[in-house]
A and B are shown apart, each in its own frame.
Chain A
Amino acid sequence: MHELSIALSILKVAEEEGGAGVEVIHVRVGELSGVVKEALLSAYEIAREGTPLRRARLVIEEVPVMVDCQRCKGPRRVLSIQQLRCADCQTPASRVLEGRDLQVAALEVSS
């Protein structure tokens, strides 16, 4: 359960980038990032208390895994994170292009 650490880091990045006027924080959380959306939302509720961003809302976009399929020659979705095969042709794929993301994507700041 490291979502509390992650939530505190989100608040830190958001405040550095957007100041106290941040109303909404948009984050991208990859399927392979090791962070669980529901746990992060709960942790965030606790983390924001007493901080300048205590009213800021957290919006999480879950990022599915994308691999570079050698056979289809391009980015493809996978069957699941338990089965890293191209969803189209079933070829095992070792190069992950997306899905490890743990990123503050954008902020909505009051003007």
Chain B
Amino acid sequence: MNSTPRIVEVRKNILKHNDEVAHALRERFQQAGVFVVSLVSSPGSGKTAFLESTLTRLRPHFRVAALVGDLATGNDAKRLARSQVPVRQILTGTLCHLEAAMIENSLTDWALAELDFLFIENVGNLVCPASYDLGENLRAVLLSVTEGEDKPLKYPPMIHSADVAVITKTDLADVVEFDWEAAFQNLQAVRPGMEVMRVSAKTGAGMEDWLKFVTGGRHPARCASIE
């Protein structure tokens, strides 16, 4: 005899396991006093060059480190090692995004309290990383001028999961006839009020504004206590 199935209200996040790990990480970061910034973008938008420039410029003033996610190869970690800050590569194999547990695993023997800033470079992908909280304090989405102005319209969930947009490779803007107005409009249409920065890791243009933005939230006493 078949009985009617009973309905069970669940209301649990599908990614609750990831959310729990991310929540625990965020608490750990806060206790250690480290500010965590993650970078998301499509492949080839200049994340690694941007991060290298960021690390090199911050290193004289702050204690910084980075985690870089990639499907394969340790090339990014090698490039970033030139900035002389501690860098670890997370190889995801075939996985298209980083998950909170991967961050947790790669931090096992790191003394977080000895850091001021930790940067996390996600796998180059404007779709999948949007769904995963990594416990970061700030998520920056990078869009390069060579990708065109309409990227925000194509990837609204990613734009929405980020706190700030950084337009990269601005030194090439004229060459590719980048339409700034359209780019800003598209970002504001998808995410009204979103902060937008423009940088060129190559020439250094805009990097100071970006660093001010990132370090702005830091307590002055923390900066004074370094070195």
A106 at the interface (CB under 8 A from B): yes
Q: Which residue of B lies closest to A9 (CB)?
A: B14
Report the separation of the CA atoms of residues A109 and B13 in the bound assembly, to the nearest whole angstrom: 19
Cβ-defined contact, A34 with B17, below 8 A: no
- Decide if A104 touches B3 in the complex (CB within 8 Å): no
CB within 8 Å of A: which B182-216 residues: 188-193
Q: How far is the CB of B214 from chain A (nearest CB, A)?
A: 21
Assess whether B191 is in contact with A94, with CB atoms less than 8 Å apart: yes
CB proximity to B under 8 Å, residues A1-24: 1-2, 5-6, 9-10, 12-14, 17-18, 23-24
Pair B128/A109 contact, Cβ less than 8 Å: no
**A55-81 interface with B by 8 A CB criterion:** 81
Q: Is B190 a contact of A103 with CB atoms below 8 Å? A: no
Q: A13-B14, A17-B12, A32-B160 are in contact. Are A84 and B5 (CB under 8 A)?
A: no
Q: Are the CB atoms of B14 and A92 closer together than 8 Å?
A: no
User: Min CB distance, B31 to chain A, in Å?
Assistant: 27
B3 closest partner in A (C-beta): A111
Contact A107 B189 (CB under 8 A): no
Known A-B contacts A92-B192, A94-B192; the reply to A104 vs B10 at CB < 8 A is: yes
**Chain A residues with Cβ under 8 A from B190's Cβ?**
81-84
List, in ascending order, chain A residues with CB within 8 A of B169's CB.
Answer: none
Instruction: Count residues of B near A (Cβ-Cβ below 8 Å).
Output: 36
Indicate if A33 sits at the interface (CB-CB under 8 A): yes
Interface of B is mostly: mixed
B84 located at the interface, meaning its Cβ lies under 8 Å from any Cβ of chain A in the complex: no
Residue B7 CB within 8 A of the other chain: yes
CB-CB contacts below 8 Å: A32-58 with B? 32-35
Smallest CB–CB gap between A12 and chain B, Å?
7
Chain B residues in 8 Å Cβ range of A2: 95-97, 127-128, 131
Is B4 in contact with A17, judged by CB distance below 8 angstroms?
no
Could you give, for residues 94-129 of chain B, a 1 whenever the CB lies within 8 Å of some chain A CB and a 0 otherwise? 011101000000000000000000000000000110
Complex Cα gap A91–B59 (Å): 43
Contacts of A9 in B (CB 8 A): 14-18
Please state if A111 and B128 are interface contacts (CB–CB under 8 Å). no
Q: Which of B42-50, B71-79, B134-142, B150-158 is the contact stretch?
A: B150-158
B11 sits at the interface (CB 8 A): yes
Identify the 6 closest CB pairs spanning chains A and B, nearest first: A92-B192, A34-B130, A2-B128, A34-B157, A108-B5, A81-B156
Of the A-B pairs whose beta carbons lie under 8 Å apart in the complex, a sample of 24, sorted by A's number, is A2-B128, A2-B131, A5-B99, A9-B15, A9-B16, A10-B14, A14-B10, A17-B12, A18-B8, A34-B127, A34-B128, A34-B157, A81-B157, A82-B189, A85-B189, A92-B193, A94-B191, A100-B160, A104-B14, A106-B7, A107-B8, A109-B5, A111-B5, A111-B6
Told that A33-B157, A103-B13 touch, could you supply 15 new A-B pairs with CB distance under 8 A? A1-B96, A2-B128, A5-B95, A9-B16, A17-B12, A18-B10, A23-B5, A81-B157, A94-B192, A96-B160, A104-B10, A106-B8, A106-B11, A108-B7, A108-B8
Seen from chain A, the residues whose Cβ lies within 8 Å of a Cβ on chain B are 1-2, 5-6, 9-10, 12-14, 17-18, 23-24, 27, 32-35, 81-85, 92-94, 96, 100, 102-111
